[in-house]
Amino acid sequence: MRGRGMIPPVLLVGFGKMGGAMMAGWRERGLAPSVAVDPTATPSRSDDLLVVQNAADIPPDFAPQAVVLAVKPQTAPDVLPHYAKYRDSVMLSIMAGRSLAWLQSQLGTDAVVRAMPNTPAAIRQGITVACAGAGVSTAQRDLCDTLLAAVGTVAWTTDEALIDPVTAVSGGGPAYVFLLAELLEQAAIAQGIPSDLARALARETVSGAGALLAASPEDAAVLRRNVTSPAGTTERALAVLMAPSAWPDSISRAITAATQRSRELAG
């Protein structure tokens, strides 16, 4: 059975895919009565969660210990001022790009944590990197760690500049893996494999390889070499993918582009 009270009251601003995944993880661990705000959500009430459409609908006596900001960074300038009144709480932002300095200026507090989770949080297998602002107490940092750990692994850094490349690598990384599955499926079909089998081959190969990587202490390069027989079919394919102008260049350029975009969103 789910324990009660492991997660103190939380105000979740933004109830989309990532916010919803995090809320599900908190509720599994036992969530004290909390509030989620999203203009597109259907208002509802349960024992541990009140869902409302705007800040004005939050009960005036509600006192969250953490405010989790899960809105799109482009809408943040219009949204965040409505929540500055909760400045006694720690503010945990999972928005891409928006810097600690910008968040602090919008919210009127230095008790801000900037974090970047990723979508495997939906199955509690995400990874998040977080950076705490100067005004975050030890207890507040521990609370944020608990909130983030409910959906996967958490790593902390004192160098905020790392959050931008983290956003590019792990924040967007699932999309790159899903693209690989798409392309494998398309290539299989092009070679005459029926579409249903092509999809199964692509999905199970990607998910199985990920599971093997997670379970193995070996470096990824070692696992790659283990699959590659000299003068075999995989070696021939890798000669194409590992050509300097292919994956080594395109992956590097992709991560650089995403990192730059994260910096542009800093505000």
What pLDDT digit, counting tens, does each position of 193-225 carry?
Answer: 999 999 999 999 999 999 999 999 999 999 999
Same-domain pairing of 150 and 236: no
Compute the distance between CA of residue 206 and CA of residue 192 in angstroms, rounded to an integer.
20
* Residue written as token pair 């300095």: 101
Average pLDDT value for residue range 37-61: 95
The domain that holds 241 is classified in CATH as 1.10.3730.10
Same-domain pairing of 228 and 129: no
189 burial class (0-12, 13-18, 19+ CB within 10 angstroms)?
middle
Q: Reply yes or no on whether the pLDDT at 25 is more than 60.
A: yes
Compute the distance between CA of residue 252 and CA of residue 163 in angstroms, rounded to an integer.
17
The answer to whether the CB of 70 falls within 8 A of the CB of 13 is yes
Residue 65 lies in a domain: yes
Residue 168 lies in a domain: no
H or E segment to which residue 20 belongs:
helix 17-29
Same-domain pairing of 131 and 105: yes
The answer to whether the CB of 15 falls within 8 A of the CB of 33 is no
The answer for residues whose C-beta is within 8 angstroms of residue 14's C-beta and 6 or more apart is: 37, 38, 68, 69, 70, 71, 72
Q: Reply yes or no on whether the pLDDT at 54 is more than 70.
A: yes
Strands (E), the chain: 10-13, 34-37, 44-45, 49-52, 66-69, 90-93, 112-116, 126-132, 152-156
> What integer pLDDT is reported at residue 4 of this predicted model?
45
Q: Reply yes or no on whether the pLDDT at 1 is more than 80.
A: no
Helices (H) and strands (E) in the chain, counts: 10, 9
Total tally of structural domains belonging to the chain: 2
Percent over 70 (pLDDT), the chain: 98
Q: What is the CA radius of gyration of the chain?
A: 21
pLDDT band at 265 (very low <50, low <70, confident <90, very high): confident
Residue 205 lies in a domain: yes
Mean pLDDT of the chain: 95
Considering the entire predicted model, what is its pTM?
Answer: 0.90
The domain that holds 86 is classified in CATH as 3.40.50.720
Compute the distance between CA of residue 82 and CA of residue 71 in angstroms, rounded to an integer.
13
Of the residues 108, 133, 163, the one at which a domain ends: 163
Compute the distance between CA of residue 114 and CA of residue 98 in angstroms, rounded to an integer.
8
Q: What is the DSSP letter of 189?
A: H
Give 66's strand partners. Answer: 10, 90
Q: Reply yes or no on whether the pLDDT at 20 is more than 70.
A: yes
The answer to whether the CB of 97 falls within 8 A of the CB of 265 is yes
What pLDDT digit, counting tens, does each position of 156-193 carry?
Answer: 999 999 999 999 999 999 999 999 999 999 999 999 99
pLDDT band at 267 (very low <50, low <70, confident <90, very high): low
pLDDT band at 3 (very low <50, low <70, confident <90, very high): very low
What count of other Cβ atoms lies within 10 Å of the Cβ of residue 197? 12
Structure tokens belonging to residue 87: 């400045």
* Residue written as token pair 């521990």: 142
> What integer pLDDT is reported at residue 2 of this predicted model?
37
> What integer pLDDT is reported at residue 6 of this predicted model?
85
> What integer pLDDT is reported at residue 266 of this predicted model?
78
Q: Reply yes or no on whether the pLDDT at 5 is more than 80.
A: no
The answer to whether the CB of 49 falls within 8 A of the CB of 23 is yes
Same-domain pairing of 103 and 230: no
Compute the distance between CA of residue 47 and CA of residue 195 in angstroms, rounded to an integer.
46
Average pLDDT value for residue range 104-127: 96
* Residue written as token pair 């899903």: 178
The answer to whether the CB of 51 falls within 8 A of the CB of 45 is yes
Average pLDDT value for residue range 46-55: 96
Domain coverage including residue 243: 173-264
Q: How far is CA 251 from the centre of its chain?
A: 20
Percent over 90 (pLDDT), the chain: 95
Q: Reply yes or no on whether the pLDDT at 132 is more than 70.
A: yes
Residue 1 lies in a domain: no
